[in-house]
Amino acid sequence: MHHGPDPVLATFVACILLAFLFGAAARALKLPAIIGYIVAGIVVGPYTPGFVAEHGVVSAMAELGVALLLFSVGLHFRPADLLAVRHVAVPGALGQIALASGLGAVVGVLALGLGLGAALAFGLAMAISSTAVATRALEERGRLGSEAGRIALGWLVMQDLVVVFALVMLPAVAGVQQDEDGSLGYELGKAAVSLAAFLGVMWVFGRRALPWLLVRVARGGSRELFTLAVLAMALGVAFLASTLFGVSFALGAFFAGVVLGESDLGHQAAAEAMPMQRIFAAIFFVSVGMLLDPAAAMAQPLAAAASVLVVLLAVAGGTFGLLLLLRVHPRTAATVAGSLGQIGEFSFLLTEVAVRREILPDAVRGPVLVAAVATILLTPLLLRLAEAAAPRLERSARLALWRGERRPRRSLTATAPMAGHAVVVGTGRVGALVIRALREHGLPVVAVEENRQAAERLVAEGTAAVWGDATRPEVLSAAALDRARLLVIALPGAVEARAVLALARAANPAIHAILRTHSDEEAVLMEAEEGVGLVMMGEREVALGMADYAMLHLGVAPGAAQATVEALRGRRTG
């Protein structure tokens, strides 16, 4: 009789618990959490003593993680983001991918003994930067909203699109290898037809049906149902794409994200999906660690070292050189190159799919993992070195064209509906009056409102509005907070107001803020925050308004009455 825990339950608990413990340890050591997740996988894997997780269960959870990861990529994919830096990001990223794939293929042939097709697949895994690590590195240095950040994000978008294309190609290539009578043209044609059919269904039905359903759920006012609806759509579309059209599970989730991302619900859908995506993505990295045989990885030191050099030279160095050729300023080029000089989640994804399709042998996992871990660890140092070297490059005679007066070039600013505007969070009685006053003078304003119907009414009245929870960074980002001039927080809750203010400070340290509170204690805390220009306490302002009217009615001069009001406002009477 079985008295122990269910193996599936034990595997799930072990993966979550160890991912947390090792991830927390990695962060305590100032390392990316992804390193801890991989170590957790090695601990519960079959190549180390002790508890061994059920690999089938972890693989299923990892596939969910990959699907949700690509769903999140789809939600954040904006053609406008790519178009804003298309003259640099498109040719530059494609050139960098070609360079890194070519050098990686050489390593695959010489150091791993791979055939040409397998070597190219290995090379492509060496060419794709980690979106999570790159954006975190830029964010920690306050460069994510700069020109370098915009170019890096456009570059990463292009890399993501190449990964999506590769996910379509790999099954076709695998079909040729497994069927000697098959031809590459036939398999690619079959994959193209299946993908075209799926895209046609998504274009005709999906882009209307999915947002329509989410709007109906949002109007119901239940956050739990909305979260469940987002997850159901992501995984449901992925499952149908895989079952009916033969499109990969992850790719189906990506296109579901693209469809929802085009609607005005995309930012809130991203906010709701993010916690789930992070959990299952962590399990994906645990599964990568489970597949790693440390002894086998150490048995290929030459291939591992060559892989690290390919990433540093072809991804970081190639990116820097291509940006200079594209006439990007050396400081900006150095920052972009330093942030992109590593591989990560999509490299693991491509490797695992290729191994599962028997395009690549198991032996490639070791060099890919060593290259990823080493370059992720080196990213902060690489970024510092790149930025430190940039001034010397500017003074170099070879780069004299950047000295003195700069030549005119295309704007690389992100396309946005407005800039220098006011963002009003909360559109109840207080927020609505603020919006009405600003619009009365033709001033630009964007409202952020959690109630779906209220947001729709504002749009119908001609006010730009973002629907969603303002305590989520994705929602505030949709209001272009980084380009706003003023933030008005008209929320009734002090906890939510402080959370919004903290997010606003992170996105736009220079923004000026106005807040409302319900007690003098809250007002003292809020006024202590840097950049807060005005804190309004509801009952006090009512009392001051009544006092002002009373003084004027009884003959006090307007100037004297106003002075008294200001004095009382500063005295904080209870």
Mean pLDDT of 46-52: 78
End-to-end CA gap in the chain: 69
Mean pLDDT of 73-89: 74
- In the prediction, which pLDDT does 373 show? 82
> If you average pLDDT over every residue of the chain, what do you get?
79
Percent of the chain with pLDDT over 90: 11
**Per-residue model confidence as pLDDT tens digits over 371-420:** 988 888 888 888 888 777 766 765 553 444 444 334 433 332 333 456 78
Q: Tell which wins on pLDDT, 497 or 132.
A: 497
Cα separation, 251 vs 192, whole angstroms: 13
Give CA torsion, residues 70, 75, 80, 81, to 10 deg. Answer: -60
Neighbours of 518 (CB within 10 A): 14
- In the prediction, which pLDDT does 145 show? 59
Residue 49 carries which DSSP code? S
Rg (CA), the chain: 27
> Within 509-557, where are the H helices?
520-527, 538-553
* φ/ψ of residue 76, rounded to 5: -90, -5
Q: Which residues pair with 425 in a beta bridge?
A: 448, 489
Tokens 């830029």: give the residue.
138
Q: List, as one string, the DSSP characters of 4-27.
A: S--HHHHHHHHHHHHHHHHHHHHH
CB 72 within 8 A of CB 261: no
Cα separation, 378 vs 31, whole angstroms: 10
CB 53 within 8 A of CB 11: yes
Mean pLDDT comparison of 72-81, 282-291, 440-449, 538-547, highest-scoring range: 440-449
Q: Which amino acid makes up residue 562?
A: Q
Q: List, as one string, the DSSP characters of 190-252.
A: HHHHHHHHHHHHIIIIIHHHHHHHHHHHHHTT-HHHHHHHHHHHHHHHHHHHHHHS---HHHH
Cα separation, 552 vs 560, whole angstroms: 9
- In the prediction, which pLDDT does 203 show? 84
Q: Is the pLDDT of residue 160 over 70?
A: yes
Cα separation, 294 vs 495, whole angstroms: 47
Inter-axis angle of helices 365-395 and 33-44, to 10 degrees?
160
Q: Tell which wins on pLDDT, 219 or 171.
A: 219
Q: Which residues pair with 476 in a beta bridge?
A: none
Q: E strand or H helix at 514, and its extent?
A: strand 512-517
At 568, the pLDDT band (50, 70, 90 cuts) reads confident
Residue 42 carries which DSSP code? H
CB 511 within 8 A of CB 481: yes
* φ/ψ of residue 423, rounded to 5: -110, 120
Listed range (105-109, 177-181, 280-284, 323-327) with the worst mean pLDDT: 177-181
CB 490 within 8 A of CB 425: yes
**Per-residue model confidence as pLDDT tens digits over 486-541:** 888 888 766 778 788 888 888 888 888 888 776 666 666 665 565 565 666 666 77
Percent of the chain with pLDDT over 70: 82
**Per-residue model confidence as pLDDT tens digits over 287-341:** 778 877 777 777 788 999 999 999 999 999 999 999 988 888 787 888 899 989 9
- In the prediction, which pLDDT does 186 show? 63
Is beta strand 512-517 parallel, antiparallel or unpaired with respect to 532-537?
parallel
Q: Is the pLDDT of residue 9 over 90?
A: no
Q: Is the pLDDT of residue 179 over 80?
A: no
Listed range (33-42, 50-59, 376-385) with the worst mean pLDDT: 50-59
At 279, the pLDDT band (50, 70, 90 cuts) reads confident
**Per-residue model confidence as pLDDT tens digits over 222-254:** 888 888 888 888 888 888 888 888 777 777 888
CA angle 48–51–57, rounded 5-degree value: 105
Question: What is the layout of strands, in order, in the sheet containing 445-449?
Answer: 464-467, 445-449, 422-425, 486-489, 512-517, 532-537
- In the prediction, which pLDDT does 406 show? 41
**Domains defined for the chain, CATH in brackets:** 13-393 (1.20.1530.20), 422-571 (3.40.50.720)
At 548, the pLDDT band (50, 70, 90 cuts) reads confident
Mean pLDDT of 459-470: 85
Q: Tell which wins on pLDDT, 226 or 172.
A: 226
Residue 492 carries which DSSP code? S
Q: E strand or H helix at 517, and its extent?
A: strand 512-517
- Provide the token pair at 490: 């008209």
C-alpha separations of 413 from 82, 90, 144, 544 in Å: 11, 16, 12, 45
- In the prediction, which pLDDT does 400 show? 45
Q: Is the pLDDT of residue 178 over 70?
A: no
Buried b (16+ CB within 10 A) or exposed e, 104-114: bbebbbebbeb
Mean pLDDT comparison of 19-28, 254-263, 486-495, highest-scoring range: 19-28
